[in-house]
Amino acid sequence: AQTVTQSQPEMSVQEAETVTLSCTYDTSESNYYLFWYKQPPSRQMILVIRQEAYKQQNATENRFSVNFQKAAKSFSLKISDSQLGDTAMYFCAFYNNNDMRFGAGTRLTVKP
């Protein structure tokens, strides 16, 4: 079975700085999708970024980018120019063949 591991339960960063959240996963599949979701205090789940495993180019969405290392089964999220509104729980997720797996989450606090 696929597993997703987020080894950093909590992180903090100063406003305007850059922070990287780690995610590793375990799978024997070659084709799958990876996601980062943001959950602010409102509890809403918000898609931050998505990566398709067969695409070698790292996905980017404005201040958010990923470092996808398929051989290492690593999928880290980099947040540049951190803003107070980035304070949230961040979940890494893996999808393949109707199996959607989430990591335990990393609570990120952006400090003014």
Partner 1 sequence: EAQVTQNPRYLITVTGKKLTVTCSQNMNHEYMSWYRQDPGLGLRQIYYSMNVEVTDKGDVPEGYKVSRKEKRNFPLILESPSPNQTSLYFCASSRDSAWNTEAFFGQGTRLTVV
| Interface contacts to partner 1, rule CB under 8 A | 4, 6, 9, 33, 35, 42-45, 47, 50, 52, 91, 93, 95, 98-105
CB of 111 to partner 1, least distance (A): 23
- Asked whether 50 and 58 are in contact (CB, 8 A), the reply is no
Of 70 and 101, which CB lies nearer to partner 1 in the complex structure? 101
CB of 66 to partner 1, least distance (A): 16
- Of 111, 107, 110, residue with least CA distance to 39: 107
Of 41 and 112, which CB lies nearer to partner 1 in the complex structure? 41
d(CA 37, CA 8): 15
Of 55 and 111, which CB lies nearer to partner 1 in the complex structure? 55
CB of 95 to partner 1, least distance (A): 4
Q: Which residues contact 110 (CB under 8 A, 6 or more apart)?
A: 12, 13, 14, 15, 82, 83, 84, 85, 86, 87
